[in-house]
Structures are given as structure tokens and as C-alpha cells.
Amino acid sequence: MREITVATVQMKPELGQMEDNLIKISEFITRVATEQPVDLIVFPELATTGYEMGPRFPDMAQRIPGPTVNLIAQRASEFGVHIAFGMVSKEKVESILYNTAVLVGPDGDLIGQYHKMHLRGEEQIAFRPGFRVNCFETMFGVVGIMIGWDLAFPEVARSMALDGADLLAVCANWEQPNTDEWNVYLRARAYENRIFVAAANRVGEEPSYTFCGQSGIVGPDGKVYASADEPIEGYALARIDLDEVRQQREETQVLQCRQPAAYRAVVKKY
């Protein structure tokens, strides 16, 4: 068995208050990791800045690695845990910004980063879309990372499953009144790929949005292992066995029975 413990943190970032948000993230890491042994902690999208930053995003952006990643990596090392979290990142060209999720390891190492591909609404003004689906090797298995609206595109999760992912970590800012949509997507992505999904969605309000929370962990058979049902800060936690992914895929043949030659329309530009 490949049993691991996963936590998805449901927090409210304060808009534009990076220092306060990093303190809160650090406190959550301490709380989760001291209350029980844990292998992976997932935080929401843009957890260090909040969502509606608009023209202020360039002032909040950092390179990777950089001060924010180094700080969270240090905390990961202190507790021997993997941590996935969302932030705004920049390239050497200062004007190129990405909505990014970062994965750091229990040795304080930077495992990888993923740039959100599917930008929604005003995100298209602030960020450049990513262009690559990334999966990352960890000591317990392969983790795929997606951000927010990526969840609505089945191609993302399927690509990660075909690349060997055992678990999808979702960092999100999913808003009301779309709570039902969020929950359906989580279970659908788990079912259709026979994969674990660990999703951290923020709570709280910003000028134009109220975020719905509902963070949780779903298994490859659609079972909800844990969920944070109330729209308040906290976390959901579950002990899962990643070997169930292989077992479920062998039983259902959901990947083996695909007919890729018939799916050409899927990769056509609309």
C-alpha cells in the first residue's frame, strides 16, 4: 500500500497583504502538521495575495525560487511535508506574470511549478496563460497540479492521468453561486480518470466575489473522503491509499479502452 495523509486548507487571504497571508499560511502549516502526521498540504490559488489585485499584481509578483517560495520551503522542511500553494509569479521580463502553483518538498526543495492555462475573465488581462501540463515526481507518487478554472476542462486532468499522476492537487478561487459546479467537477475528474483529487478552495469576500470553500478530497471511485462543508477557514484531511488508482483503472479499463484516433476534434482550435 502507498498510504498518505493529505490536507486541503480553506483559508481567506487578505487582499494585497502578502506578509499577513504568509503568516497565516505558516500558521496553518504548523497547525496541520502538529495535529497529525501529514504528507501533503494543499493551499488555495493566489493564497499569498488574494484575487482582485488587478493592476497591483506586478507589485506582488515574485520570481521562482524567491522569497515566498524559500519561506514556505523552509516550513516544509521543518515539518517534513510536501506543500502546494498558489501565488503570482514573474519571469525575467518583468511584464510577464503568471497565476502559478508551486510544489515544494519535505527537504525544502522546489519540486516544480505550474502556470494556470485557462484564464477566466479579468485574469486574461493580468496574466499570461501557461502552455504545459505538468506532473511532478514525489517520494509517494506522481502529483499533477491544476489551478481554479482548469478544473472545468477535462483535457487537463486526463492529460495528467495519462502522464502517470496518482493524485491531482487543485488550488482554487471558486466563487459562489457556482458551488454545485465545483463539487460536480471534483467528482467528475476523479471518476473519469480513476484518480484522487485534493482540492483547496478559498473562502471570504472581495469587492466582486464571495468564495464558496467546499475544499475536500475525492477518491478514484468518487468517494468523498473529507470535505470542509462550511464556508469558514479550516482544513479537510484524509488518509488515502494511492494504490487504489491502479486497482480502479485495471478494473474499469477507463484509460485502456480509449479510442484516441476518434478524438481529433478535441484538440482542434475552436
What are the pLDDT tens digits along the chain (270 aa)?
799 999 999 999 999 999 999 999 999 999 999 999 999 999 999 999 999 999 999 999 999 999 999 999 999 999 999 999 999 999 877 789 999 999 999 999 999 999 999 999 999 999 999 999 999 999 999 999 999 999 999 999 999 999 999 999 999 999 999 999 999 999 999 999 999 999 999 999 999 999 999 999 999 999 999 999 999 999 999 999 999 999 999 999 999 999 999 999 988 887
Q: Residue 184 and residue 141: Cα distance in Å, rounded?
A: 25
Strand segments, DSSP code E, in the chain are 3-10, 40-42, 82-90, 97-104, 110-115, 135-137, 142-147, 167-172, 196-201, 203-206, 209-212, 216-218, 224-227, 234-241
Q: How far apart are CA 165 and CA 168, in angstroms?
A: 7
Residue 140 has a pLDDT of 97
> Helix 179-193 crosses helix 154-162 at what angle (to 10 degrees)?
30
Q: Which residues contact 21 (CB under 8 A, 6 or more apart)?
A: 13, 14, 47, 48, 49, 50
Between the alpha carbon of residue 91 and those of residues 76, 128, 250, the distances in Å are 24, 11, 42
pLDDT of residue 267: 84
Say if residues 185 and 152 touch (Cβ distance below 8 Å). Answer: yes
**CA atoms within a 13 Å half-sphere pointing along the CA-CB vector of 20:** 9
- What is the C-alpha separation between 205 and 266, in angstroms, rounded? 36
CATH fold, domain 3-267, is: Nitrilase/N-carbamoyl-D-aminoacid amidohydrolase (3.60.110)
